[in-house]
Chains A and B, each alone.
Chain A
Amino acid sequence: MGDASEVKGECSGSGKGKKMFEEEENEDKLLAGVGYKVCSSDMVDVAHKLDQLEMVMEEDGISHLASNTVHYDPTDLYGWVQNILNNAPNHPITTNSNNAIIPSPLTPVPENDLTAIPLPYIEAYPQTENQNCHKRFKSSSSPLWPAISSDNVLPVVLVEEAGVYLVHALMACAEAIQLGNASLASSLVKHAGTLAVSQGGSMGKVASFFAQALARRIYGFYPYETLDSSYSDMLHTHFYESSPYLKFAHFTANHAILEAFATADTVHVIDFGLKQGLQWPAFMQALAVRPGGPPAFRLSGIGPPRLDDPDSDSLSQVGLKLAELARKIRIQFEFRGFVCNSLADLDPSVLDIREGEFVAVNSIFELHRLLARPVDIEKVLATVKRIKPEIVTVVEQEANHNGPVFLERFTEALYYYSSLFDSMEGSVAAPNEQALVMAEMYLGRQICNVVACEGEERVERHETLGQWRARLGLGGLEPVRMGSNAFRQARMLLGLYAEGGEGYRVEENNGCLLLGWHTRPLVASSAWRLAPNGLHPVRDQNEMNQDSRYCYVKE
Chain B
Amino acid sequence: MVQEQHRGEREKRPKFFINDNVDILREILKRLDGSSLGVAACVCRLWCSLTRNDDSLWEHLCFRHVSSASVRAVVVALGGYKRLYMVCVRPVLSRLGESERVRKRVWTRHEVQLSLSLFCIDSYERLGSGRIASDASASSLMFLCNTINV
A: which residues have CB within 8 A of B? 240-242, 251, 277-278, 281-282, 284-286, 288-291, 293, 321-322, 324-325, 328-330, 428-432, 435, 485, 488-489, 492-493, 495-497, 499-500
**Closest 5 CB pairs between A and B?**
A431-B142, A282-B117, A285-B120, A281-B124, A328-B77
Q: List 19 A-B contacts (CB under 8 A).
A: A241-B140, A281-B123, A285-B116, A285-B120, A286-B117, A289-B68, A324-B127, A325-B123, A428-B143, A431-B139, A431-B142, A431-B143, A492-B114, A493-B114, A495-B95, A496-B95, A496-B96, A496-B143, A499-B148
Cα distance, A278 to B110, chains bound together (Å): 20
Number of B interface residues, CB 8 Å? 35
**Chain A residue with Cβ nearest B77:** A328
Most buried by B among A284, A324, A492, A499: A492
**Chain A residue with Cβ nearest B143:** A429
The reply to whether the CB of B35 lies closer than 8 angstroms to some CB of chain A is no
A493 — which chain B residues lie within 8 A by C-beta?
A: 114
A429 — which chain B residues lie within 8 A by C-beta?
A: 143, 146
In B113-150, which residues have CB < 8 Å from any A CB?
113-114, 116-121, 123-124, 127-128, 139-140, 142-144, 146-150
Least CB distance, B76 to chain A, in whole angstroms: 10
Cα distance, A329 to B79, chains bound together (Å): 11
Cα distance, A322 to B119, chains bound together (Å): 15
Cα distance, A137 to B11, chains bound together (Å): 89
Most buried by B among A293, A329, A432, A488: A329
**Chain A residue with Cβ nearest B117:** A282
* Interface SS majority for chain A: helix
Least CB distance, B72 to chain A, in whole angstroms: 9
B150 touches A329 (CB 8 A): no
B128 — which chain A residues lie within 8 A by C-beta?
A: 321
The reply to whether the CB of B92 lies closer than 8 angstroms to some CB of chain A is yes
| A240 CB contact (under 8 Å) in B110, B127, B140 | B140
B120 touches A282 (CB 8 A): yes
Interface string of B52-71 (1 = CB under 8 A from A): 00000000000000001011
A499 — which chain B residues lie within 8 A by C-beta?
A: 148-150
Cα distance, A435 to B137, chains bound together (Å): 12
Least CB distance, A286 to chain B, in whole angstroms: 7
Least CB distance, B114 to chain A, in whole angstroms: 6
B74 touches A289 (CB 8 A): yes
B96 touches A492 (CB 8 A): yes
A325 — which chain B residues lie within 8 A by C-beta?
A: 120, 123-124, 127
B48 — which chain A residues lie within 8 A by C-beta?
A: none
Most buried by A among B74, B78, B91: B74
Cα distance, A345 to B68, chains bound together (Å): 45
Cα distance, A330 to B70, chains bound together (Å): 10
Least CB distance, A426 to chain B, in whole angstroms: 9
**Given contact pairs A289-B68, A329-B77, a sample of 11 additional A-B residue pairs in the complex whose CB atoms are under 8 Å apart:** A278-B124, A285-B78, A285-B119, A286-B117, A288-B73, A291-B70, A325-B120, A329-B120, A428-B143, A489-B110, A496-B95
Contact of A428 with B140 at beta-carbon distance under 8 Å, contacts A321-B124, A328-B78, A329-B74 already known: no
**Chain A residue with Cβ nearest B96:** A495
B150 touches A500 (CB 8 A): yes
B68 — which chain A residues lie within 8 A by C-beta?
A: 289, 291
A278 — which chain B residues lie within 8 A by C-beta?
A: 121, 124, 140
Cα distance, A435 to B138, chains bound together (Å): 13
| A496 CB contact (under 8 Å) in B77, B92, B119 | B92
B143 — which chain A residues lie within 8 A by C-beta?
A: 241-242, 428-431, 496-497
Least CB distance, A490 to chain B, in whole angstroms: 10
Least CB distance, A278 to chain B, in whole angstroms: 7
B146 touches A431 (CB 8 A): yes
B150 touches A289 (CB 8 A): no
A496 touches B123 (CB 8 A): no
**Chain B residue with Cβ nearest A322:** B124
Least CB distance, A11 to chain B, in whole angstroms: 55
Cα distance, A518 to B143, chains bound together (Å): 20
Cα distance, A492 to B107, chains bound together (Å): 13
A289 — which chain B residues lie within 8 A by C-beta?
A: 68, 70-71, 74, 116
Cα distance, A321 to B130, chains bound together (Å): 11
**Chain B residue with Cβ nearest A491:** B110
**Chain A residue with Cβ nearest B144:** A496
A435 touches B139 (CB 8 A): yes
B96 — which chain A residues lie within 8 A by C-beta?
A: 492, 495-496
Most buried by B among A277, A286, A428, A489: A428
B110 — which chain A residues lie within 8 A by C-beta?
A: 485, 488-489, 492
Least CB distance, B130 to chain A, in whole angstroms: 12
A241 touches B139 (CB 8 A): yes
| B149 CB contact (under 8 Å) in A330, A428, A435 | A428
A431 — which chain B residues lie within 8 A by C-beta?
A: 139, 142-143, 146
B113 touches A286 (CB 8 A): yes
B140 — which chain A residues lie within 8 A by C-beta?
A: 240-241, 278
A492 — which chain B residues lie within 8 A by C-beta?
A: 96, 110-111, 114
Cα distance, A495 to B71, chains bound together (Å): 24
Least CB distance, A306 to chain B, in whole angstroms: 17
Most buried by A among B78, B91, B96, B124: B124
